[in-house]
A and B are shown apart, each in its own frame.
Chain A
């Protein structure tokens, strides 16, 4: 096979029945076949129909990504698989809670940076902030990098949620 060694990063959404073990099937598929998971987000999105939406950020060659989509599509409880990087343009957002501790100049600088990134302090003490920031994963990366020298203590990220532009559903 003509191997293409170019690695791409794709965001894939999976709509599945919210039945016991469905997440284990998806995760087991990735580990069993040696695929990468960079982030994974899952929640029930339609309680009436018991459907869950799993959003996976993964990376691989175009051949591997094609296999990932096909293998996901073959799981019995999976209804639909959409690759936002191929099938249709999508919007990606991620949320992070970022704890920064410090005093004096660094503390002021952290708050100023947070304002520039539209990160919101959700917990404040005399020696720390917890910022809530939403945006593309790369925006979160930049913010976290900037916080590092300013007393970064801890990060919690949700992983990516994605949806298509325009009026149609996935």
Chain B
């Protein structure tokens, strides 16, 4: 049904009366929702009852509400559409809070519907009552408690509008049980628009011209791009590729922006930041013009802010004005949608027949070549034990050319995946960047696989992280989602162990797993398939088997327990003081100031 058709229908039947619960389902359909992730409970029973009769919405029953939110995030991140979650009041809502906060930090559009106790019970400490609006106020883009059935349809439509527009983010609609039972005429989305919320998306006149003029004069430029490009849609990524090709400038990206520019592209420097490449971080430090597109100068990226890229003019494009000058003062802010601003940059560059400073750029690329020659991602190979870097490299090679989506948990494995797995397109890489949520990857993979049933969806995991939301393998089995959970098992919370080694005198306080489940048996107990690989020479064959199995897989890849993730900017250090290997870190001074940071 196209939009016009829908409008006509609404016009023909304007006073379609229904219960609040039916309104929820109808609004979801009208918003084009096909999947919702949820868990029933007392305060959402009327909505689940309405769902029982709904044929064109697929409800995915998770095993824990946190899993529902991460699955919705994976769905949203891989499709560009908002993810929808339905949970009950009290513990249902509080369990969802980690996922909601994760979505806020990474700008993922979600609509989270929570049940609430009946309006006359609110404030009475009723059974399964929690102040969901109060709890989620700081971790949502916006939230609503719907006390009046007359507001319900409008708020549901506004919720979708706000979640996806401007800088995307999660919203919560808290619906008391009595409101779900009340009857009113339904209002369709065409009749609803938020009274005032209109985030600007067009760049201010003149600002793009200034930016492009600055770029054309640059002698040592660098593009520093982020998740904002991915959020702005595929056209923004296409525009970025054209802009990079036009200018010939080098480009690096944050963790969240991987894939917007292809890793195989000639101008690609690799990821920047704490575990970014030597060439990317040095280019950031030494550049004279920095073009930041859809990134937010996060502390993982900047390192020590007073020593961050000291000699550069900075252009900062962000759709959220509050990101401008937040961590780093910039010279030229552009508050606009990344796709529109990048397209305008391309237009202006071509129209004014700008050309980059060829001689200076050549020298700059020669300097970058010398940094690249450090081969900062190299590691000491082993034929006795599987090096985690080797495992990622093999996984990449064995899945190359396939239609692959990667999710991760949080820690060393995540950084190795970001450094080594080469992403050629946006929306292929789902990871918890801002909040750093262990347990994100498995449920996110469930959401991704649901949206892309024919694709190969792999969660690159750690054995500690994956145990945080392990139960969602049951969801994968129930819905025939053949996600591959590729666990780099070093028995340590690897990143914690690495920091304890570098900053806390190798005192490995509670970061070693004395006991671990037998992941093969665990997989079998869930109805999934389990594999274990212990030697480098068996890895390829096992990965091939994993890919061939048409079920969810837990792959227990036993890796070197003491491997550290390098290169690394120790916290409190500037970009040009990276540790490249274990040999260097012994000499490196990690002062008290660095210890204060996380």
Using CB atoms and an 8 Å cutoff, list the residues of chain A in contact with chain B. Answer: 1-3, 17, 20-21, 24-25, 28, 32, 63, 66-67, 70-71, 73-74, 76-77, 79
Contacts and interface: CB of A to CB of B under 8 A. Distances in A.
A1 B326 CA distance: 9
A1 B306 contact: yes
A148 B326 CA distance: 43
Interface string B120-159: 0000000000000110011001100101000000000000
Interface stretch (B89-97, B219-227, B255-263, B317-325): B317-325
A32 B329 contact: no
Contact of B322 (A28, A67, A77): A67
A13 B119 CA distance: 33
B327 interface: yes
Contacts of A79: 196
A16 to B, nearest CB: 9
Nearest to B166: A74
**Chain A CB within 10 Å, residue with most, of B147, B328, B329:** B329
Contacts of A20: 145, 147
22 contacts: A1-B305, A1-B308, A1-B327, A1-B328, A3-B306, A17-B196, A20-B145, A20-B147, A21-B137, A24-B134, A24-B137, A28-B137, A63-B325, A67-B322, A70-B322, A70-B324, A71-B322, A73-B321, A74-B322, A76-B142, A77-B142, A77-B196
Interface residues of B, number: 25
Contact of B326 (A21, A28, A32, A67): A67
A76 B197 CA distance: 6
A77 B194 CA distance: 9
Q: Which among A70, A73, A76, A77 has the greatest number of chain B C-beta atoms within 10 A?
A: A76
A3 B325 CA distance: 11
Nearest to B328: A1
A73 B324 CA distance: 13
A17 B195 contact: yes
B141 A76 contact: yes
Nearest to A66: B325
B215 interface: no
Contact of B321 (A1, A32, A74): A74
Interface of B: 133-134, 137-138, 141-142, 145, 147, 162, 194-197, 305-306, 308, 320-322, 324-329
Contacts of A67: 322, 325-326
A125 to B, nearest CB: 40
A2 B329 contact: yes
Contact of B138 (A1, A28, A70): A28
Contacts of A71: 322
Contacts of B147: 20
A70 B321 contact: yes
A66 B329 CA distance: 11
Nearest to B323: A70
Nearest to A76: B142
A70 B331 CA distance: 17
- 10 tightest A-B CB contacts, nearest first: A70-B322, A76-B142, A79-B196, A74-B322, A71-B322, A1-B329, A70-B321, A32-B138, A76-B197, A1-B305
A161 to B, nearest CB: 23
B303 to A, nearest CB: 13
Contacts of B326: 67, 70
B319 to A, nearest CB: 10
Contacts of A63: 325, 329
A80 B197 CA distance: 11
A79 B145 CA distance: 21
Contact of A73 (B137, B142, B322): B322
A79 B208 CA distance: 26
A50 to B, nearest CB: 9
A131 to B, nearest CB: 39
Given A76-B142, A76-B197, A79-B196, A25 B324 contact: no
A74 B305 CA distance: 25
A162 to B, nearest CB: 21
Given A3-B306, A67-B325, A73-B322, 15 more contacts: A1-B308, A1-B328, A1-B329, A20-B145, A20-B147, A21-B137, A24-B137, A25-B137, A32-B138, A76-B141, A76-B142, A76-B162, A76-B197, A77-B142, A77-B196
Nearest to B325: A66
A77 to B, nearest CB: 8
Contacts of A32: 138
A17 B197 CA distance: 11
A111 B178 CA distance: 59
A2 B310 CA distance: 10
A69 B431 CA distance: 31
Contacts of B133: 21
A79 B196 CA distance: 6
A71 B162 CA distance: 16
Nearest to A80: B196
Contacts of B138: 28, 32
Nearest to B171: A76
A21 B325 CA distance: 28
A17 B138 CA distance: 18
Which of B308, B322, B324, B328 has the largest number of chain A CB atoms within 10 A?
B322
Interface centre among A1, A3, A25, A71 (most CB of B within 10 A): A1
A23 B265 CA distance: 49
B149 to A, nearest CB: 16
Contacts of A2: 329
Nearest to B137: A28
Contacts of A74: 320-322
Nearest to A49: B195
B161 to A, nearest CB: 10
